[in-house]
Structure 1
Amino acid sequence: MTMPLSPDLTDALATFVAGRSPGHPVLVASDFDGVLSPLVDDPSASAPTPEATEALGRLATLPASDVRLALVSGRDLETLATLSRAPLGTELVGSHGAEQGVVVGTAGRDDGDEPASTTVEGHPFALTDDERSRLDAVRSGLEAIAHDAEGAWVEDKPSAAVLHTRRAEPDRAARAGDAARALGAQHDAHTMTGKDVVEIAVVDTSKGVALVRLRDELDAAAVLYLGDDVTDERAFEALSSTDVTVKVGPGETVARFRVDTVEDAAAVLAEVARLLA
C-alpha cells in the first residue's frame, strides 16, 4: 500500500525541482533492486513495478535540459539494462560504479511479461592482468564456499564475483558470508556486504564515486537518489545536504528521508515528474 509522502519530503522535492536552470538539469537517480523492483529469491526474475515503470517513462519524456535519469546498481550493465526496462536516454551505472553506459535503443516493449531488447552504449572497460588473475581466484574461492552452503550461489560480474545466500539456511548463510569476507581480505580485494550478498571486487569503486562523477559529467544542479541497501549508503554519504536522499525500507541510514515500500519509491518519482511537468 502506498502511503502519502511526508510534507517535509514533498517540500524537499519541490525545492529540488526548482533548482534547475538552463544548462543545469536535475539528476534523478535510483537503485534498482529493492527500490524500483521488489526483492525476490531469483534475481533473474526481478522486474520494476508498474508504478515505477510509469514514473520512469514520464520522466524520460521530459526535456533533457530539465532532468536526466539514471539507474545505479550492483548489477552488471547488461543485466541492469535488460531487467530494468529503462527508457531511452537513461544513464546506467552497473557493478557499483565499475561500468557506465546510456540506453540508446529499445525494442519489444509491448509485452510486459518479457524484458525488452535494450541497446546500451557503454564506456570502455577492461581489467589489468593482475586484476583478472585475482578475480579468477576470488571466483574459485566463492564457488567452494557456495558448495558448502546449500542454496548459495555465485554471480559473475566483469570486475567482481558475488556470493548470494538468500536461499541458504540462516546459519550456513552466516558462515558462508564470514568465509567470503575472509576470502576478500586474503586477495586484497574490495568487499561489500549487502542484503544476503557478499560482493568481492578487484576494482575500487562505489555508487557514491560513480554518482558524483555522473553529476559532474551532466553538470547537474542537484541530485535525487533513492536506495535501500548498505551499498547505497556510500551514495547517500557522497551527496551534499542540498541534494535529496531517500532510504527505501528499514535499517540505519544517513539519508535525509525515508519511505517504506517500492510503491512509495515510485510515488517519489511520480511526484518529481508531476512537478517538472
Structure 2
Amino acid sequence: MNDRPTTRRGPTAAPPTTSDALRAFAGPAAPRAPRCARLVALDYDGTLAPLVDDPLAAVMTPAARAAVDRLAALTSRAGGDVLRLALVSGRNLTDLAGRAGVPPGTYLVGSHGAETGRMTADGVDAVPLHLTPEQAQTLERLREGMQDAVDGRRGTWVQDKPSAAVLHTRLAGADDARAAAADVDDLAHRLGLHAMHGKDVVEVAVVPTSKGLAVEALRDALTDRSDVPALVLYAGDDTTDEAAFGVLGPDDLGIKVGPGPTVAAHRVEDADALAEALERLADALERQVPPGPPTPGSAP
C-alpha cells in the first residue's frame, strides 16, 4: 500500500500517513466527535474490482473480498447503529447486489444514489423507485437519443437503468468515443439533464443524483438511528467519486484508488492496496468492537 503522506494539516505539522488516518478514524473518538458511529462506504468497479472491458466480468480481488467480509463481520458484531458497511456504485442495484455478493446487513447504493437497499439473507430489500410521468417520458426520449448517438460507432453501446441511460465507450476507438460522448452531452443539454462523465462512460439520469448525495444520505440515516455523529470513510477511483470526497468533513477519511486528480486526502495504488488499508482499519476496529459470542464447538 502507498503509505506516503498526501495532506498537510498546518504549516509546520507533519502530514498524517494513510495508516495514521486509519487509526484515527477507528480510534475511540475523533477530536470533534467524542462519541460517534462509523460508516465505511466503498465504490465497486476500479476500487474493489479491477476495471475490465466487460462489466459482467468485474469481480473483487481475493484480498478485497476478504477485507470486505471481515468488515461485514465487524459490522454484525458492533450493531448497525455503531458501524455500517455500504457499497456505493454506478451499477444498478440488482447488478451490484449480484456482482458484489456482499454479506447480509451491507447497505447498497446503485445508479449513483438513485437506487438504495440493504442486503438480507433472502436478497436485496430495495427501496422502491418511482418516476413521475414526466420523468418516465424524458427517460424514453433519453434512451432513444442515446441509441442514435451509438448507431454506426463501433465499440459503443447503451445500458438502460431504472432512472438513467449510460453510454459505454471502453471498446471504441478514440474518435468514435469522443463523437458519441459529444452527442450525449448535447442530448442531455437539450433535455435539461446533467451528464456525469466517468472512465469511458457517460451517464444521464432523470432524477437528481450523485455519489455525494448518496453518502450524505447514508450518513444522515446512520445519525438518525444512532443519535450520535457519524464519521465516514469513502474510497473510490473515478471522477464520479469526487462528489463523495467533496462532502467529507475534517474527521472523515477519503481514499482515492489509482491515478488521477482528486480532492481525497489519501491515495492507494489499486484494489489490493485498498484491501490492505481496509485490513488495517479492521485491525484497529477490532479493539473497539466487543467480541461476539463463541461459535458452536469452540472453547469457552
TM-score, length-scaled by structure 1: 0.91
Whether 2:102 is the aligned partner of 1:86: answer yes
Contact 1:5-1:264 within 8 A present in 2 as well: no
Q: Distance in 1 between matches of 2:220 and 2:264?
A: 21
Find the counterpart in structure 2 of residue 68 from structure 1: 84
Q: Which has the larger radius of gyration?
A: 2
Deviations 1:165-202 (A, max 9, x none): 00001111111111111111111112101100000110
Alignment of 1:152-167 (within 5 A): 152-167=156-171
Alignment of 1:189-200 (within 5 A): 189-200=193-204
Q: Distance in 2 between matches of 1:228 and 1:241?
A: 20
Alignment of 1:126-275 (within 5 A): 126-219=130-223, 221-275=230-284
Find the counterpart in structure 2 of residue 112 from structure 1: none
Change (3 A) 1:23 1:157: farther
SS in 2 for 1:61: helix
Deviations 1:243-276 (A, max 9, x none): 1001111111100111111111111211111111
Deviation at 1:148, TM superposition (A): 2.3
Q: Distance in 2 between matches of 1:39 and 1:95?
A: 17
Q: Distance in 2 between matches of 1:4 and 1:236?
A: 19
Q: How many correspondences in the alignment?
A: 263
The AA in structure 2 aligned to 1:72 is V
Deviations 1:84-112 (A, max 9, x none): 11111101011101111000126xxxxxx
The AA in structure 1 aligned to 2:244 is A
Contact 1:28-1:223 within 8 A present in 2 as well: yes
The AA in structure 1 aligned to 2:72 is A
Deviation at 1:43, TM superposition (A): 0.5
SS in 1 for 2:17: helix
Q: Distance in 2 between matches of 1:143 and 1:31?
A: 27
The AA in structure 1 aligned to 2:139 is L
Gaps of 5+ in 1: 107-118
Find the counterpart in structure 2 of residue 33 from structure 1: 45
Q: Distance in 1 between matches of 2:125 and 2:139?
A: 25
> Runs of 4 or more off by more than 4 Å in structure 1?
20-23
Deviations 1:58-107 (A, max 9, x none): 1111122542100001111110001011111101011101111000126x
Q: Distance in 1 between matches of 2:275 and 2:139?
A: 36
Q: Distance in 2 between matches of 1:140 and 1:239?
A: 37
Gaps of 5+ in 2: 5-15, 224-228, 287-300
Whether 2:22 is the aligned partner of 1:13: answer yes
SS in 1 for 2:53: coil
Superposed CA RMSD in Å reads: 1.6
Q: Distance in 2 between matches of 1:244 and 1:159?
A: 30
